[in-house]
């Protein structure tokens, strides 16, 4: 299995199209957020991972997502970790939603390190910005 995309979103909707074919509507794709309150704070972004299963694959595997501060060593304690089994019909796609609780002591960037089984890692950054002053 392979990760074809991984992005942070506000909303996702699936809809049928002729064929039969499925459309995935992603809304509010983003990679940063103005904090709703001063740091320290906890943020729970929605990371959606789109996965493809090749036709000759058995259709089972595991998705692992490890969240680390940008620049942290691979052996550093992760901020959050999520592992879940996958079952995808060979030749098809699936989406998996990951919703971590990320503690930010200060503003900065966290990276989601996503991989299926022990395959290649897809890194998706997420930056927490200072709050926006009301105008």
pLDDT tens digits for range 102-112: 999 999 999 99
**pTM of this prediction?**
0.92
Q: At 8, which CATH number?
A: 2.60.40.10
Q: Would 14 be classed as within a structural domain? A: yes
Total structural domains within the chain = 1
Q: Give residue 135's pLDDT.
A: 73
For residue 73, tell me if it sits in a domain: yes
- Residue 86 in domain: yes
The DSSP result for the chain, as a single string, is -EEEEEEEESEEEEEEETTTEEEEEEES-BSEEE-SSSSSEEE--EEEEEEE--TTS-SEEEEEEEEEETT--TTSPPSEEEEEEEE--TT-EEEEEE---EEESSSEEEEEEEEETT---EEEEEEEEPPPPP-
Domain presence at residue 26: yes
- The predicted structure's pLDDT at residue 20: 78
pLDDT tens, position by position, for the chain (135 residues)?
Answer: 999 999 999 999 999 888 878 899 999 999 999 999 999 999 999 999 999 999 999 999 999 999 999 988 888 899 999 999 999 999 999 999 999 999 999 999 999 999 999 999 999 999 999 999 877
In a domain, 12, yes or no: yes
Question: What is the span of the domain harbouring residue 81?
Answer: 2-129
């Amino acid at each position: 299995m392979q990760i074809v995309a991984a992005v942070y979103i506000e909303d996702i909707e699936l809809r049928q199209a002729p064929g039969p074919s499925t459309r995935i509507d992603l809304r509010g794709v983003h990679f940063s957020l103005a904090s709703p309150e001063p740091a320290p704070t906890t943020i729970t972004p929605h990371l959606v991972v789109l996965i493809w299963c090749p036709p000759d694959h058995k259709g089972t595997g595991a998705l692992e997502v490890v969240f680390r501060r940008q620049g942290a060593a691979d052996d550093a304690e992760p901020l959050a970790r999520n592992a879940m089994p996958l079952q995808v019909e060979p030749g098809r796609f699936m989406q998996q939603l990951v919703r971590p609780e990320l503690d930010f002591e200060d503003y900065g960037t966290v990276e989601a390190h996503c991989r299926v089984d022990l395959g290649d890692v897809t890194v998706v950054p997420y930056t927490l910005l200072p709050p926006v002053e009301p105008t």
